[in-house]
Amino acid sequence: MSSPSHSPQEALAAVRHRIARAARAAGRAPEDVTLIAVSKQQPWERVEAILEAGQRVFGENRVQEAQARWADRGAQWPYLQLRLIGPLQSNKAADAVALFDVIETLDRDSLAEALVRAIAKAGRAPELFVQVNTGEEPQKAGVLPAEADAFLERVRKTHGLNVSGLMCIPPADEEPAMHFALLRKIARRNGIERLSMGMSGDYETAVRFGATHVRVGSALFGAREGFAASAASGQ
Ligand SMILES: *Cc1c(COP(=O)(O)O)cnc(C)c1O
């Protein structure tokens, strides 16, 4: 058992407090920032503890893991909002459309096409964010910054999908602020209001740079299962 000061409920209160403080310091209203609790790879007891404390917005990075965990929870926990924050394969588009309220990782035309078909079939349309690979990292998903405007135009006009936000995951070894600023700039010139940026290590910075959604996992729940203690240092 972890000590009471590290209970999920206390961690939730602390993170919410820090978000509110960062928002006010930036002249923003705390309620303009939504906390996404990233529950991937976390034991259910920890997730349930923060559900009981009132948290309703959750992020998962894998469709199958999210289905197994969340598909039947809606009845017990009304007002849940589930957000896909990991890469989506086109052949899982139908499953993702059926489960998620928001898909944050649209980043290519083939996926846009698969989503259009899945949405038509399901009669249900999740909100969509486009992921931007602000650090231009080859191994990372997301549209390149230089291609973002053209991609957004195609998503909207060619594929006929609404995009309400942008999402980024800055390179682990770089100052995140410049990436947050870049994402905000791309959003502004494309008339997009929502920004999903900031994780456990940098969510207050992200709030300063205009994040409307921060994705926090380990700072809320502790290290993920299967993570070596060294990989979770900093928590
Ligand atoms: C896992 C994950 C997070 C949460 O990371 P923490 O550092 O544990 O807060 C945020 N965003 C994405 C896309 C993730 O995959």
Stated pTM of the model: 0.94
Nearest 5°: phi and psi at 166?
Answer: -120, 150
Q: What is the pLDDT of residue 226?
A: 60
Residues 6+ apart with CB under 8 A from 78: none
CA of 120 to the centre of ligand 1 (A): 30
Q: How far is the CA of 11 from the centre of ligand 1 (A)?
A: 16
Spatial contact of 197 and 180, defined as CB atoms under 8 Å apart: yes
The one-letter code for the residue type at 10 is E
Which atom number of ligand 1 is nearest to the Cα of residue 218?
8
Mutate to test the pocket of ligand 1, among 39, 60, 85, 137 (most ligand atoms within 8 A of CB): 85
What are the angstrom distances between the C-alpha of 51 and each of 78, 83, 171? 10, 15, 31
Q: Is any atom of ligand 1 closer than 6 Å to the C-beta of 199?
A: yes
Tens of pLDDT, residue by residue over 119-136, are 999 999 999 999 999 999
Residue 200 alpha carbon, nearest atom of ligand 1: 9
Cβ pair 179, 146 in contact under 8 A? no
Ranges of the chain with pLDDT below 70 = 1-5, 226-235
**CB distance 112 to 146 below 8 Å:** no
* CB distance 200 to ligand 1 below 6 Å: yes
Cα-based distances in Å from 21 to 60, 131, 160: 26, 27, 39
Determine the Cα–Cα distance for residues 44 and 47; give it in Å rounded to an integer: 5
Q: How far is the CA of 218 from the centre of ligand 1 (A)?
A: 8
